Amino acid sequence: MRFPRASGILLHPTSLPGRYGIGDLGDWAYHFVDYLVSAGQRYWQMLPLGPTSYGDSPYQSLSTFAGNPLLISLDKLVAEGWLTPEDVATVPDFPPYAVDFGPVIIYHTEILGKAYRRFAETATKVQKDAFDAWCEENESWLTDYALYLALKTKAGGKTWVEWDKNEALRDPETMIKAAEENAVEVAEAKFVQWTFFRQWRDLKAYANSKGILLIGDLPIFVAHDSSDVWANPDLFYLDESGNPTVIAGVPPDYFSETGQRWGNPLYRWDVMEEDGYAWWIRRIKNTLQFVDLVRIDHFRGFAAYWEIPASEPTAVHGQWVPGPGMKFLRTVQAALSDLPIIAEDLGLITPDVNEMRDTFNLPGMKILQFAWGNLDEASGFLPHAHVPNCIVYTGTHDNNTTLGWWHQETDDHIKDHLRSYVAYNVTEPHWTLIRLAMMSVAHTAIIQLQDIMGLGADCRMNKPQQTGHWRWRFLPEQLSNDGKERLRWLTRLYVRLPEQQPREEA
């Protein structure tokens, strides 16, 4: 697809302000779209939007098809009549600057339950027909997810391999009985998803009407404890009890000396190929209901992936195994007629990964925090080495904020290299990297909101292989600093404003 010269901001919706303990799809999401417009931006990039579980990582979702219920705007449910003002009059004392996931989950689950019960009792025929039609359209994943969620709740949140054996392994008679016994819980889960999808549809329509495109994120692998694996065990390498025999990760790298042991089960690509990768095509199409473009996390796994025996405690002992490669991408391209995909091509990148990315003309990624430290080596992350068909970032969600990086993770070699490169004393490292991103030949520049706000390491979104992250939120007054004006000026200076781009011929 064609990418105009443009820029945008990386911000997960959970980081938005609001009174309910977590960012949501209410007024602040619309305010942020307006902020992007006034700052001259074109893109809002975010992390995966699925329901999170243990560890709260959006990259370990309970379903790759479902939306995160915590993002549902409770105020919008009040406006629709599914909640009353009294239902949300008293809110726990949530911290405004971080997501305290435990209490947030408890509160939102209770309130969404109230909304479902009022819907079940008072919805009109037109509303119920709309709900039923949506459920039928999404039947390929929805009922499995809703039943999985009901059984997981009944089991006290345990992973599905710890449930009753007949439920875990989906004995047909047991499934029929479980659906009957949990009919109310299944209907509630479906209602919550319908609500999420409607609210997200409205937000996306608003953003698109303002010229803002949404960039989503699709992890190449899915969580073992998910409805995806529970409902489709034949697509993964599992033992007779449902446990993974081999798992995903990456070998030792920039982030970890022992590699990253993600724990996701690996795909049986040979089985997926038999029906033309139908599950994957449904997955990508579903994601493109949420967003306009999708970044595929760990894109290199389509060329080859790091296979770790499930018994290994780290990712050190593993092996590279060929992925589905070109055949898979050609099949997806034929199904979609286009590939609105960004290839996350970080880590150990081999020539076959580059060939696969370039054959389909997919933009890769350049991270400016990775560029510095060795004057005698050519780094592809240095601004002068960028190519037009790429996305340049100051840092990603896995990186420190640029101020945090500068003060905590750089040495004299890195500092001297950057100073020499820009030929001035660096006093605002975040704005130095923002400027370098904007002046890059890369068609797209994406900046973490934390860098625009000049925030430090305490506002980092994630640190790989550590728990307790994904919590950062900004305060309303922080959006009023001078960052917007500085960002718009640089966007204009380096010809990335939407109005500076050539108009497409009809």
- Domain boundaries in the chain? 54-215, 232-362
Q: Which of 297, 352, 355, 416 is catalytic?
A: 297
Distance of CA 242 to the CA centre of its chain: 26
Per-residue confidence (pLDDT) for residue 2, from 0 to 100:
87
Contact 448, 455 (CB under 8 A): no
Whether the model clears a pTM of 0.85, i.e. scores above it, the answer is yes
pLDDT tens sequence across 389-427: 999 999 999 999 999 999 999 999 999 999 999 999 999
Rounded Cα distance between 144 and 64, Å, is: 12
- For tokens 């303990």, name the residue: 21
307, pLDDT greater than 60: yes
CB 269 within 8 A of CB 275: no
Q: Which of 292, 398, 416, 428 is catalytic?
A: 398
Catalytic residue flag (residue 297): yes
pLDDT reading at 303 higher than 90: yes
Predicted confidence (pLDDT) per residue in 32-64, tens digit: 999 999 999 999 999 999 999 889 999 999 999
Q: How does DSSP assign 192-252, residue by residue?
A: HHHHHHHHHHHHHHHHHHTTPEEEEEEESS--SSSHHHHH-GGGB-B-TTS-BSEEEEE-S
Residue 458 annotated among the catalytic residues of the structure = no
Query: What's residue 506's pLDDT?
Result: 45
pLDDT in tens, 348-392: 899 999 999 999 999 999 999 999 998 878 799 999 999 999 999
Q: Based on the residue annotation, tell me whether 398 is a catalytic residue of this protein.
A: yes
C-alpha pair distances (Å), 108 with each of 102, 113, 280, 290:
10, 8, 31, 22
Compute the CA torsion angle 325, 462, 16, 134 (nearest 10 deg). Answer: 40
Query: Residue 374: what pLDDT?
Result: 87
Confidence band of 467 (pLDDT split at 50, 70, 90):
confident
pLDDT at 255: 65
Per-residue DSSP letter, 502: P
Distance, CA of 243 to CA of 230 (rounded, Å) = 10
- Residue 260's pLDDT band (cuts 50, 70, 90): confident
Instruction: Check 185, 217, 344, 345 and give the catalytic one.
Output: 344
pLDDT at 459: 97
β pairing state of 364-367 and 444-448: unpaired
- When the pLDDT of each residue in the chain is averaged and rounded to a whole number, the result is 96
**pLDDT for 505:** 52
pLDDT band at 487 (very low <50, low <70, confident <90, very high): very high
Instruction: Decide if pLDDT at 310 tops 80.
Output: yes
What mean pLDDT comes out for the span 75-83? Answer: 97
